């Protein structure tokens, strides 16, 4: 089958690779000039099934509204009268219940359960994501009771082997953590990879598998018949034909599916990051500063700090106060050098969000030959390999794998 994958981020490339390895003739159409400018390289680089929880959690919107006036807070909902954003925030609020959260965790766990094994499988097949840390993840806490509660939740939902850390365990595992912590949770088997290495290598593996990647090609229109062929119309007025289309356009997916007369409630959850080269300390593993909601990602020669969830933010603009907030959290945990070291770069990225906190994977309602793979929120790197496999299986069998039923686009039809 000829398959056109729209979007060359980590989800589009993972899908393209799985499809090419199944014997399809695949073309990836990517608006950017290369694969290194988007959200898929501007993230913490964690492959962390233990964090596969939906964003809408009990109390989340209330907390966002409370923090609305704080320019350095980790969660921010921008006041807006834009009807689409208002509706999305309302829908998000409706999903902040215990019941929705529990069902969401189960649905995400079904996709995330094979993440680590499939990442290793990619590695065995020549996809590199080094430099990488294989030493697990520490979630710190400044409150011992909170650490205990986190452990219980992780045991219940994800990893019965996660361990509680007291302060001395924490210091033994990571002497570089000089902040005032009360303890934390340690989860082994989680990974921290360099996302730009992964994305570049995925693109190379796609090319080696026969995938044609067309960069600087923006899809500005689409026609898909209910029958066997589909066409993506590009901004340079050329067309790419296929028998099927995979839409993997991240946070802008609603704009794309509107070309096919459909709408999906995908919106941007903006995050920020800062890279510090030649760090003054050595960290052996990924660390999550739970109260500050900041991810610390060590790769050789660099420490990346990232975080913040801004809903309704202006695209592209980097907020200096939010970067300062992330940096302050890093300095509190790792020492003052974080404040004084000149950053290698600062960045922002748009997480593709959905109101129920779950990805959207499956056939676009009304189209037998158009598959959507988006809405991976804070988990696109974690879920890329299993999503690629799910997309290939969906096109091969004509059905979404049964365990991914809750992720179907039909839930928004
Ligand atoms: C600060 C931050 C930290 C994060 N940390 C982690 C983490 O540690 N672990 C984790 O698992 N996830 C993390 N994430 C989330 C992860 O980065 C995203 O879920 C993931 O990158 C989404 O990938 P994607 O391929 O769906 O979207 P994107 O990376 O946005 O790719 C979509 C692509 O589609 C292209 N496109 C859009 N429209 C068109 C068009 N019309 N024509 C052609 N091409 C088009 C875009 O140019 C883009 O390249 C983080 C995100 C942020 C912002």
- Within 6 A (CB) of ligand 1 lie 6-12, 29-32, 38-40, 43-46, 218-219, 248-252, 256, 271, 273, 295, 306, 349, 351-352, 374, 376-382
Residue 197 has pLDDT above 80, yes or no: yes
Predicted TM-score of the model (pTM): 0.96
Buried/exposed code over 244-258 (b: 16+ C-beta within 10 A; e: otherwise): bbbbbbbbbbbebbe
Per-residue model confidence (pLDDT) at position 301: 85
Rounded mean pLDDT, 202-214? 97
Q: State which residues form the domain around 405.
A: 1-58+97-129+192-266+354-413
Summarize pLDDT for 311-338 with one digit per residue, the tens: 888 777 899 999 999 999 999 999 999 9
Kindly indicate the confidence band of residue 152, based on its pLDDT and cuts at 50, 70 and 90: very high
Question: 3-class DSSP state for residue 232?
Answer: strand
For the residues 112-120, what does the mean pLDDT come to?
A: 95
- The residue whose C-alpha atom lies closest to atom 3 belonging to ligand 1 is 43
Measured from the Cα of 10, ligand 1's closest atom is 25
Question: What is the pLDDT confidence band of residue 282, given thresholds at 50, 70 and 90?
Answer: confident
List the end-to-end C-alpha distance of the chain, in Å, as a whole number.
27
Residue 114, in any domain of the structure: yes
Read off the pLDDT band of 171 (50, 70, 90).
very high
Query: The CATH number of the domain where 51 resides is what?
Result: 3.50.50.60
Task: Mark 365-393 as b/e (b = at least 16 C-beta within 10 Å).
Answer: bebebbbbbbbbbbbbbbbbbbbbbbbbb
Q: How confident is the model at residue 387 (pLDDT cuts 50, 70, 90)?
A: very high
Helix (H) or strand (E) holding 172: helix 167-173
Is there a domain that residue 301 lies in? no
Question: 245 lies in a domain?
Answer: yes
9 assigned to some structural domain: yes
Q: Is the pLDDT reported for residue 228 higher than 60?
A: no
Question: What pLDDT shows up at residue 227?
Answer: 58
- Spatial strand order of the sheet with 244-247 comes to 212-214, 25-29, 2-6, 244-247, 370-374, 360-363
Kindly report the number of other CB atoms within 10 A of residue 155's CB atom: 14
Percent of the chain topping pLDDT 70 = 96
Task: Write a three-state SS string for 362-397.
Answer: EECCCCCCEEEEECCHHHHHHHHHHHHHHHHHHHHH
- Name the closest-CA residue to atom 37, ligand 1: 249
Query: In total, how many domains does the chain have?
Result: 1
CA of 244 to the centre of ligand 1 (A): 22
Confidence (pLDDT) at 224: 66
Sign of the dihedral through C-alpha 19, 129, 108, 310: negative
The predicted-structure confidence for 335-355, as pLDDT tens digits, reads as follows: 999 999 989 999 999 999 999
**pLDDT (0 to 100) of residue 195:** 96
- Per-chain mean pLDDT for the chain: 92
Averaged over 66-77, what is the pLDDT? 72
- For residue 411, give every residue at least 6 positions away whose Cβ sits within 8 Å of its Cβ, in sequence order, or none: 356
Q: What is the pLDDT of residue 409?
A: 97
Residue 178 within any structural domain of the chain: no
Query: Is 107 inside any structural domain?
Result: yes
CA 372–ligand 1 middle distance (angstroms)? 14
pLDDT at 175: 95
- 3-state SS string over 278-343? CCCCCCCCEEEECCCCEEEEEECCEEEEEEEEEECCCCCCCCHHHHHHHHHHHHHHHCCHHHHCCE
Q: What is the pLDDT of residues 91-100, one digit of tens each?
A: 888 998 999 9
Cis omega (within 30 of 0) for bond into 178: no
Q: Which atom of ligand 1 is nearest to the CA of 380?
A: 19
> Per the domain annotation, does 401 fall within a domain?
yes
Reported as a pLDDT band with limits 50, 70 and 90, residue 300 is confident
Is 72 a member of any domain?
no
């Amino acid at each position: 089958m000829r398959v056109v994958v729209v979007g060359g981020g980590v989800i589009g490339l993972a899908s393209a690779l799985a499809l090419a390895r199944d014997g399809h003739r695949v073309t990836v159409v990517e608006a950017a000039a290369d694969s290194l400018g988007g959200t898929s390289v501007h993230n913490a680089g964690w492959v962390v099934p233990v964090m596969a929880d939906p964003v809408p959690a009990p109390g989340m919107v209330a907390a966002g509204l409370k923090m609305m006036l704080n320019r350095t807070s980790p969660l921010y909902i921008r006041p807006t009268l834009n009807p689409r954003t208002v509706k999305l925030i309302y829908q998000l609020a409706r999903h902040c219940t215990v019941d929705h959260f529990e069902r969401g965790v189960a649905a995400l766990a079904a996709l995330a359960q094979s993440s680590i094994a499939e990442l290793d499988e990619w590695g065995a097949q020549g996809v590199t994501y080094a430099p990488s840390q294989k030493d697990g993840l520490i979630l710190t806490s400044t409150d011992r009771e909170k650490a205990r509660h986190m452990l219980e939740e992780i045991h219940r939902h994800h990893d019965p082997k996660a361990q509680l850390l007291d302060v001395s365990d924490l210091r033994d595992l990571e002497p570089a953590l000089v902040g005032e912590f009360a303890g934390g949770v340690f989860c082994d088997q989680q990974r921290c990879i360099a996302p730009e290495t992964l994305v570049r290598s995925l693109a190379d593996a796609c090319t080696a598998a026969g995938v044609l990647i067309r960069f600087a090609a923006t899809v500005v229109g689409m026609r898909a018949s209910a029958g066997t062929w589909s066409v993506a119309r590009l901004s340079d007025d050329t067309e790419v034909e296929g028998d099927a289309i995979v839409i993997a356009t991240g946070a802008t997916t609603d704009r794309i599916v509107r070309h096919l007369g459909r709408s999906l409630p995908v919106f941007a959850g903006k995050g920020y990051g800062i890279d510090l080269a030649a760090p003054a300390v050595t960290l052996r593993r990924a660390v999550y500063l739970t109260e500050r909601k900041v991810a610390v990602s060590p790769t050789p020669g660099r420490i990346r700090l990232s975080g913040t969830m801004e809903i309704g933010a202006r695209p592209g603009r980097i907020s200096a106060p939010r970067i300062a907030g992330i940096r302050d959290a890093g300095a509190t945990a790792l020492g003052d050098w974080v404040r004084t070291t000149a950053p290698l770069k600062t960045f922002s990225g748009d997480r593709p969000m959905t109101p129920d906190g779950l990805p959207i994977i499956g056939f676009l309602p009304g189209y037998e030959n158009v598959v959507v793979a988006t809405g991976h929120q804070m988990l696109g790197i974690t879920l890329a390999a299993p999503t690629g496999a799910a997309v290939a299986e969906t096109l091969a069998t004509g059905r979404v794998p049964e365990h991914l039923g809750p992720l179907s686009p039909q839930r928004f039809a």
